[in-house]
Each structure stands twice: as C-alpha cells, then as structure tokens.
Chains A and B, each alone.
Chain A
Amino acid sequence: MSLTDPTLAAHRCEDSLARAQRGERAGFDELMCEHEARVFSIALRFTGRRADAEELTQDVFVQLHGALGRISGAGHLRRWLLRTVTHRCLNRLRDQRRRPQLVPIESLPTTDEPVAPESGTDPLAGPRLRRLLLELAPEARVVLLLRYQEDLDPSDIAATLDMSVNTVKSHLRRSLEWLRAQYTGDAHGS
C-alpha cells in the first residue's frame, strides 16, 4: 500500500481535515478518531508501555492542531502523523538515554525484560512477537512497525524516517532474520 492510495477513509478524512482547518472542533475530533489508533499503536509497540504511548499520542495530536494549516490533504496528513510519531518515539528514547534514570523503585519499567522461552501456539504469537519487537534496535523497530502495521513500502518508510531505502531494506532483512530465529526458538522451547 502506498501513502497516497485513495480510499474511502481518505475521502472522509479530507472532509474532516477541511472542517478541522476551518476551526471546527468536531472536525478535529473526527480526525483524531480516524487516526488515533494508528498513532497510538506505533507508540505502544515502540515503547511497550500504555502510559507512555498515551502521552506520545497526546503530544502528536496537540502538535497536529498547530500544524493543520500546513497539511495539504489526507495522504499528507497520514505521512505527517507517521513521521511525527516515529520521530517523537526515537527522540524520546534518546532523551531518556542522555539522562540518569533514578526513579522510585516501585515504578520502574516493567517491559524491558527478556522473553522467557516457552511452549505455546498461535494465541500467544502476538504478545510474543510484540515483546521480541521491543528488543530490536529503535530504528529497526520503527521500520518494522511502519512496514507491518502501516503496510508502507520501503521507499515510503525511507521518506518518513529520513533514511536511505537501502538502510530500510537492510533493517527489514536483518530484523526479520533475527525475529524468525528468536520466534522459532521460542516456539520450540529452546
């Protein structure tokens, strides 16, 4: 799927975008309704934490509100949202790495733990893959999210993340190889 594919949803979006740009609150609400799952899911799969994802989603839509005048259409809006949320995810991680993380012990992160080898079949495949995803390098994680959540082509991913297409392809290939190895290992309890 390309970022510029016309869809019914896109037509609806054009309408709500135009209304939001005119300052109609209901139009902006509709925009959020249409796109919040996309933005939130990327943030959630990237951070692994619902609270963080909710904060990031808020940030993106607050920023969007200020940028509405520069959005030229539904395709541009989707590109803008994906670009903004992915960059925010990456920047947030960089910021966190730069500063000491002394937090109350009882509220330390709970998701950056290794995944236990376990037996199991399809019902657990989703959670296991999402956990494995959290172990990927941040850039690789974002590439996979855009590819398999948003179904973007490598060239669109490259444009969204300011990467070369070859880098995107390389991330995809290596990540899939790694995931396949880990996932297969998990499935067999090794």
Chain B
Amino acid sequence: MDLEQQLRAALAPTTPGPQVRAAVKLRLAEKSHRGSVNRWVLVGAVLALGAAAAMLAMRLLEPAATTVIAESVHVLDVPPGDAPDAPVSVDTTSTETTSATQDSEAPPVGPAVQPFTVNVPPLKSDVDDPSRKAALETVYTTLVDGLRDVPGLTLVDATATADYRLTLEGNAAPASATAKDDFWVNMAAEQIGPAGRVLRGYHTGATGEVAPACASPSSMDTLSYPTCADPIGVARRLLVTLRKSVFPVDPQLQRDLRARLFDQTLEPGERRQALADLGSLGRGSAAMGAFPAGLRDPAVVRAAIQLASVAPDPATRAQVWYTLRGSGDPTLLRPLVAALRTDADQDTRVQALATLVADFATDPQARSALETAGVGDPDPMVRALAQRALGAESVWTDYVLASLKDTGQSPTDRIKAFFYAYGLPTTRMYAVYSADGRILRALDDAGMRALAEVLPRAAADSKAYASASFTLVSELSYMKHPAITDMLLDSLDASEPWLDRSFAVESLRRRTDDPRVREALAKIARDDADPQVRALAVKPLGAEEKTVDVSALPPRLGVMTDYVKAAPGVPTELVGKLAVTRMSTGSPADHAGMKEADILLEINGTPITSGPQLIEVLDGLSKDVDVGVLVSRNGQTLRLTARF
C-alpha cells in the first residue's frame, strides 16, 4: 500500500461519543436563554508561587517535602505507598496484553461515594471595574453551583465544621491593560482537620476574559478541562481540578477513567492521560506518600503495563513506570527489569529504574538489573542513578555537579540531571513537582555559579526546560548568592528575555544591599517603558519578602509525617501522634536509623504532639550535637540518636 493510501486509511473518519451531540443540544438550549454565543479560549490554571520563599526554605530543610502535615489513615506496620486498603492479591501471571481488555468487561469497581462537606466563604475581591467584578462574581456563583452537583458533597456555611474550605480571591488587570486576560482567580482548597486545623492546602488559579469570543457550554465533561476563558469556563476549570485532584475519589469519575485506560481502541495518548488522571484522583485527600487510590487495583496496573507494551511513544512508556511507582505490585517487576535492560529511550529507563528502586529495592532480580545498568547502560545518567541505588550516593551527586559544570555539553544536557535530582519535570512533563533540597545543598560556589549561568540558556533552548527553569528561578530568587543576583541582572538586558521583567524586578528588590542592584532598579524606575514595572522598582519591600541564607537554616530530620488515626489494632495512646510517612535517603533521620511508619514520641525528652510543635522543637536544637529521638516501631519503643 503506498503512503497516500495509508494516509487515507489512517484518516478514516471516526465518530465522537454521544456526549458531544448532547452537549451541543444543551448549549443551544442555553443560548436561547442567554443571547449570542461567544468564542472562548482555555487558559491553564496557574500554580501558586506566592509562598516560594517558605517553600524554598522547606525544601532546603526537608528533602522532598512539599506540603504541610496531613491527616492520614493509620500507618502502623504498613509500608508507605501501600495503604491498608490497597489490593494485595495480584495475579503475577496475567501480564499478557489481553488481560486489560478482560478487565474492562468486569463490573465497575471502586469505593462508594464518600460524603464530605465544603464551606465556600464569600469571594475576596476589591475589584471595582463593573465588567470584571461581574465576571468574577459569575466565576464564584458558577463554581458554587457546580459544587452542588459533585457526588457526596454537601455545602455548609461557616458556622458548621467543614472537611474543606475553598477560598476564592478575585483579581483584575486594569481596564486599560493590553493583555488579553482581564481577570484571574486564585483558589485555596484547604482540608480541615480536628479543631479547625488546616491539614493541607492546594493552591491553583485560572485567568479569564470578560468578553471572550466564545462561551462555555451549560453541561460539563467532568474528565476534561474546559477550553474557554469565559467566567463559566474559569469556574469549571477550577471545579475539574477539585474533582480530579483535591476532593475524595468520585467513583463515577474513577469508572470513566478506568474505561478509557482499558479501551485498547483509543490512542495511547488518551489512555496515558486517563492513567495520569487516575493517579491524581483524590490525591489532595489522601495520606502523603500513599499510592493513589485510583491506581490501587491490579487490573489498572495490568492495563498500564499493557499500555506500556504497545505505546510507540516513549513518553507514554516512561509515564507508566513513573505513575505506577509505589504500587509494589509484583506483576511490575518483570516488565520494569525488561524496560531497564532493553528500552531504547533513556528517560524510560530512568523511570523504570526509579520504580524498581522504590518498590523492589531488595529483590535479587531488581538488584541484578541495577548492577548491570550501573556499569553497562549506554547513558551516564542511568549508570550514575543505578550506582546510587546500590548505595553510592556520592556517585550520583558528583555526576549531577560535574554535568552542571561541563561546558562541553549543551545547556539542556548540562542541567538535565540537576532538574531530575531536584524533582522538576522537564521535557516529558509528567511527574509531580517534588523538589528535593539535597541537591541544592550539595552545590558548592562553583556549582551555584554554573547553575545560574546555564539556567537561562537552557530556558532559551527548550520550551519544556523554560517551564522547569521558571519554577526553579521562583525559588532560587529567594536565595542569597551573588550568582543569582548576576543572573537576575543579566535577564534585564537579555536580547531574548527568558524571565518575566516584573518577576526579575521583584526578585531584585530583595537584593538592594548590592549597589549594582540599586543602580539597576533606579534606572528601571526612571526609564522603563512599562509603568507597572517602574512602580515595582520603587515599591517598598514587604516584611515577608526576604532571602534565605542557606548556611543559617535550622536543623531538620528530613522526614514527612502524618497523624495516626484511630483504627482497629492501633493502641489508643498512639492516636494523634506523628508517624513518618516518607524519609529522605541520607537525611539525619536516615542516619539515625529511623524508618518509615515509625511513630515519633519524643525528641530530647520533649514529647512530640503535632507537626508545628515538632518544627518548634527542631528549631531549638543545635547542630553537630547528638539528639535523642524516641520512636515507636511495631509496638516497641526504640531510642535513636540523630545528628544534624
């Protein structure tokens, strides 16, 4: 068959599902009530970066820590990533490609709808412009209306105790602004625990247009983000995020996503998205470190393995191995070993390796594969990671730093291992941002200079790296180091601006002890074409805006913790204590011999009662002095010694 015939066959029309016709009918019905239909464009939700300084400090202190302490199911005797209700019965023989199809015919499974309550305080906004104000109010009312349709959700007022509090803050660009986005909404979704304590916060946002050339439909596909930036589209975008990632798992949503993952007639890319969505389901409500509820099913694991076996796109294969990390499902061992040994794609091998290490570190077959990769993999980064997995941490750190300083490589190649070590998604854009401060701490002066030198060039070379670079810069900008100041100053004069000018000016305002910065800001305040940037340059520094002196950081254990909940088999005296859910390799806790699922009882004789109190106790400790740590492990009390 020649190419043109093959193209005709490949492009044979395919029909959309009946939901498209249904949605059109609804939109037409709505249109008859509302008047003209406008065209609309979707805007992505914005990750909140406002707390960058605090996050940086936390990352430098607590490797891999990204969030506040969360309430959890009990963790006694349960390894992290294997929550008590996770499936344990797995058919190790059923990795053949047909199994996923068979599973799709099985009756839908999943939890019952979990009731939960939500309080939405009034919209916070001091926007005066009538059209923007009205748009923001529409976002608010549409979101609240949409919440009423979420299964299990009950809206409660502020006087009642709610499981979640959603705070919306509306902002507007000046009416005269030339930018297309007229307003934006920041949303904080806080999970509330006992005594009104905030267990965790999820921040997101979306921008919108007052008069977009489109309008959102009245019905909504709960699986997809709307593609319009009208106020209704903005509200629904927030709602989809809440349903997919924040609220407890919605069984119907889970069934729909499973059906997509199991459907082998779909494009691998669509099945990959379904897998990613299943992985994010209920993540905002789950215990930190717990394997995602939507993936806790052998049939899902088998379907994902099958997807990896047929996906021509290496990004899909890599994402499968990444997403299944923490499942511990024994059917994964063989395909992971095979991927590490034979996959032609470096990133896929990296992800397979990381999942092997996370889930099968002690398995002889896995260790044999790691030993082979440590010496024989064609890629030096894979070799370094494999050696690290076998205990040679310094080999990996040395490789990251050497790559950063290797001016013979391209900027993206130089920074690739650093991004990986720091936990930033790069070219493939899967993974969750999970900054690991250890690699920042390992940077010597030359390393920091190399990073500051290569970062702008990597950002300019690759769109994917630009995104990761911006995330990193938003945190680096709070670090006190002359190389960072140089990088920010240089960005002002760059012929190809890689950093938002306002952001650079805001960051430089924290560095006015440097005369070059004062001079640059004075020039901007006087000459810059943008009045907002001119105003920023002279804006007084807020008390919360300060840089972080890495050398002055207080001691931290290097663990993440959850509260122990009452459950059968859990001694009453341990309920409410803090249990370790995640621990960084090489951290003081690691050196002290702590293990994940240990329950923290005392530090230097002080009983540990809560997360904030733990931080207070640690703040009061000195470095380079032995510290006694009392933990409960499997019903036994152990006394350990930590050194910071």
Instruction: Verify if A5 is at the interface (C-beta below 8 Å from B).
Output: no
Instruction: Verify if B514 is at the interface (C-beta below 8 Å from A).
Output: no
Contact with B225, one of A51, A56, A115, A145 (Cβ below 8 angstroms): A51
Instruction: Verify if A24 is at the interface (C-beta below 8 Å from B).
Output: no
Verify A126–B10 contact, CB threshold 8 A.
yes
Instruction: Verify if A9 is at the interface (C-beta below 8 Å from B).
Output: no
Verify B7–A144 contact, CB threshold 8 A.
yes
CB interface residues, A 1-53, toward B, < 8 Å: 25, 29, 32-33, 36-38, 40-41, 44-45, 48-53
Verify B279–A102 contact, CB threshold 8 A.
no
User: If the complex has contacts A101-B44, A116-B345, are A62 and B431 also in contact, measured as CB distance less than 8 A?
Assistant: no
Point out the residues of chain A lying under 8 angstroms from B31, CB to CB: 62, 65-66
Verify A149–B13 contact, CB threshold 8 A.
yes
Instruction: Verify if B214 is at the interface (C-beta below 8 Å from A).
Output: yes
Interface centre among A105, A110, A117 (most CB of B within 10 A): A110
Verify B313–A113 contact, CB threshold 8 A.
yes
Verify B270–A148 contact, CB threshold 8 A.
no
Instruction: Verify if A164 is at the interface (C-beta below 8 Å from B).
Output: no
A101 to B224, CA, bound (A): 16
Contact with B312, one of A45, A53, A92, A128 (Cβ below 8 angstroms): A128
Point out the residues of chain A lying under 8 angstroms from B245, CB to CB: 104, 106
Contact with B20, one of A54, A115, A120, A176 (Cβ below 8 angstroms): A54
User: If the complex has contacts A107-B276, A111-B269, A127-B268, are A36 and B11 also in contact, measured as CB distance less than 8 A?
Assistant: no
Interface centre among B9, B12, B25 (most CB of A within 10 A): B25
Verify B37–A107 contact, CB threshold 8 A.
no
A126 to B5, CA, bound (A): 11
User: If the complex has contacts A50-B270, A145-B11, are A116 and B277 also in contact, measured as CB distance less than 8 A?
Assistant: no
A145 to B11, CA, bound (A): 7
Q: 1/0 contact trace for B265-282 toward A, CB 8 Å?
A: 011111011001101100
> Closest Cβ of chain B: how far from A113's Cβ, in Å?
4
A59 to B38, CA, bound (A): 10
Point out the residues of chain B lying under 8 angstroms from A48, CB to CB: 267, 269
Contact with B14, one of A37, A62, A104, A148 (Cβ below 8 angstroms): A37
Q: Which residue of A lies closest to B433 (CB)?
A: A105
A66 to B1, CA, bound (A): 43
Instruction: Verify if A159 is at the interface (C-beta below 8 Å from B).
Output: no
Verify A130–B267 contact, CB threshold 8 A.
yes
Verify B316–A63 contact, CB threshold 8 A.
no
Point out the residues of chain A lying under 8 angstroms from B221, CB to CB: 51, 54
Instruction: Verify if A183 is at the interface (C-beta below 8 Å from B).
Output: yes
Verify B7–A148 contact, CB threshold 8 A.
yes
Chain A binder among B332-340, B389-397, B422-430: B422-430
> Closest Cβ of chain A: how far from B74's Cβ, in Å?
27
> Closest Cβ of chain A: how far from B423's Cβ, in Å?
11
Verify A118–B21 contact, CB threshold 8 A.
no
A65 to B217, CA, bound (A): 14
Instruction: Verify if B43 is at the interface (C-beta below 8 Å from A).
Output: yes
Instruction: Verify if A79 is at the interface (C-beta below 8 Å from B).
Output: no
Verify B45–A103 contact, CB threshold 8 A.
yes
Point out the residues of chain A lying under 8 angstroms from B272, CB to CB: 110
Verify A125–B44 contact, CB threshold 8 A.
no
Q: 1/0 contact trace for A135-178 toward B, CB 8 Å?
A: 00000000011001101000000000000000000000000100
User: If the complex has contacts A37-B14, A99-B181, are A129 and B7 also in contact, measured as CB distance less than 8 A?
Assistant: yes
A115 to B316, CA, bound (A): 10
A91 to B515, CA, bound (A): 47
User: If the complex has contacts A95-B41, A110-B272, are A116 and B312 also in contact, measured as CB distance less than 8 A?
Assistant: yes
Instruction: Verify if B51 is at the interface (C-beta below 8 Å from A).
Output: no
Q: 1/0 contact trace for A67-101 toward B, CB 8 Å?
A: 00000000000000000000000001001101111
Verify B24–A129 contact, CB threshold 8 A.
no
Point out the residues of chain A lying under 8 angstroms from B345, CB to CB: 116
Instruction: Verify if B226 is at the interface (C-beta below 8 Å from A).
Output: yes
A36 to B217, CA, bound (A): 17
Point out the residues of chain A lying under 8 angstroms from B270, CB to CB: 49-50, 110
User: If the complex has contacts A107-B276, A125-B10, A148-B7, are A54 and B16 also in contact, measured as CB distance less than 8 A?
Assistant: yes
Instruction: Verify if B541 is at the interface (C-beta below 8 Å from A).
Output: no
CB interface residues, B 1-49, toward A, < 8 Å: 1, 3-4, 6-17, 19-21, 23-25, 27-28, 31, 37, 39, 41-47
Verify A131–B312 contact, CB threshold 8 A.
yes
Verify B268–A148 contact, CB threshold 8 A.
no
Instruction: Verify if B315 is at the interface (C-beta below 8 Å from A).
Output: yes
Point out the residues of chain A lying under 8 angstroms from B165, CB to CB: none
Instruction: Verify if B491 is at the interface (C-beta below 8 Å from A).
Output: no
Point out the residues of chain B lying under 8 angstroms from A51, CB to CB: 221, 223-225
Verify B45–A113 contact, CB threshold 8 A.
no
Would you give 17 A-B contacts (Cβ < 8 Å), ordered by A? A37-B14, A48-B269, A51-B221, A51-B224, A55-B224, A102-B44, A102-B46, A104-B245, A105-B425, A105-B431, A106-B244, A108-B425, A110-B272, A116-B312, A125-B9, A148-B10, A180-B3
Q: Which 5 A-B pairs have the closest CB atoms?
A: A103-B44, A51-B224, A111-B269, A149-B11, A113-B315
Could you list 20 further interchain pairs (A-B, Cβ under 8 angstroms) beyond the known A57-B24, A58-B20, A116-B313?
A: A37-B15, A40-B14, A49-B270, A50-B266, A51-B223, A52-B227, A57-B16, A58-B24, A58-B27, A58-B217, A62-B24, A62-B37, A102-B44, A102-B467, A106-B280, A111-B269, A127-B10, A127-B312, A148-B4, A151-B8
